[in-house]
Structure 1
Amino acid sequence: MEWLREHAWETWLALSIGLGVAEMFSLDFVLLMLAAGAAVGMVAALLGAPVVLQVILASAAAVGALAVVRPSVVRRMHHGPELQVGHDKLVGKQGLVTERITQQEPGRIKLSGEVWTAQPYDDTVVIEPGETVDVLQIRGATAIVHPVPRLDP
């Protein structure tokens, strides 16, 4: 027991490393927070604090990390950004009309560097070449579009 008092910082360091390695197998971030608490205990030992104070500081740091840090880390790790793939990533983008678009005659738009068949969202709208459109939906290989209102002065 005397050896532990004389080599307290090494003991805290070994505990911190051991908990960090164990965290690699659990991936639950509990052991990582305990390892952070052990690191605080190591710093207290290096500063010459009594063993009781080292334990109290290490425990407080571990509990604080579990209560404050861990929830946000877990939330970020398990809830990443939604990835849009395929046609879904084109919805909401703007395209340039290359052929006249009516409900009776689908036209063409240039969208993300590709030429797409397009139909208007509204039955009564006629969209002329050169106009900009918003893509509201993709049905098969046809983009359902709506013209972007012009802001003429």
Structure 2
Amino acid sequence: MIDLVIGNVPLDWALWIVVGVAFLIIELLTGTLYVFCFACGALLSFLVSFFTDSFVAQLSAFAFATAVSIFLIRPIIKKYLHPKENEKVSNADALLGKEGRVSEQITGTGYGRVAIDGDDWKAQSQDGMTIPVGSRVKVVSRDSIIITVAPL
């Protein structure tokens, strides 16, 4: 048991305040919301320290509150703080809906090339028509590394 005592007054609560504040500072630096769960555990242990001097009981409260926070509270908080996190598109999927300029003529049944944001992509026409160089097009779909475009 950790005995922090001034006179005959145990100061276990002070330990939990220091631990909780440390976890909150670390959370501010990381932003993952995992460390915040440990701060919640320290808060419950702080409250328990007023009712018992047993460090084992305080540590058990810390573990319990941390686990509950990770599995129940964190998902709810994350849902409200980052509502569109799962909607992010990356890599080639981010091309859908983008506009570009034809850099090599797209033949009716064949392929050509389209420049989009500094990258040059192999492209085919959506409706099978020929699209001349310099035309503005919009990406409507993607199959592997070949994009399908429609003229604007």
**Percent identity over the alignment?**
24
- Aligned partners of 2:116, 2:41: CA distance in 1, in Å? 52
User: Which of 84, 88, 108 is equivalent to 2:90?
Assistant: 84
The residue aligned with 1:143 is: 147
3-state SS of 1:133 partner = strand
- Aligned partners of 1:5, 1:137: CA distance in 2, in Å? 74
The residue aligned with 2:14 is: 13
Deviations along 1:8-60, one digit per CA (max 9) or x if unpaired, are 7x4322123456789x9xx4855422424567x6xxxxxxxxx78xxxxxxxx
Question: Is the 1:101–1:120 Cα contact (8 Å) retained in structure 2?
Answer: yes
Unaligned segments of structure 1, at least 5 residues: 42-50, 53-61, 149-153
Is 1:129 the equivalent of 2:133?
A: yes
Please, what TM-score do these two structures have when normalized by structure 2? 0.51
Unaligned segments of structure 2, at least 5 residues: 27-33, 52-64
- Aligned partners of 1:5, 1:80: CA distance in 2, in Å? 52
Equivalenced residue count is 123
3-state SS of 1:15 partner = helix
3-state SS of 2:108 partner = coil
The residue aligned with 2:99 is: 94
| CA shift for structure 1 position 96 | 0.5
What's the RMSD between the two structures over aligned residues?
4.7
| CA shift for structure 1 position 7 | 4.9
Deviations along 1:53-92, one digit per CA (max 9) or x if unpaired, are xxxxxxxxx9xxx6xx645335468x8444523x323333
Residue 116 and residue 101 in structure 1: after superposition, are their counterparts in 2 closer, same or farther (change >3 A)? same
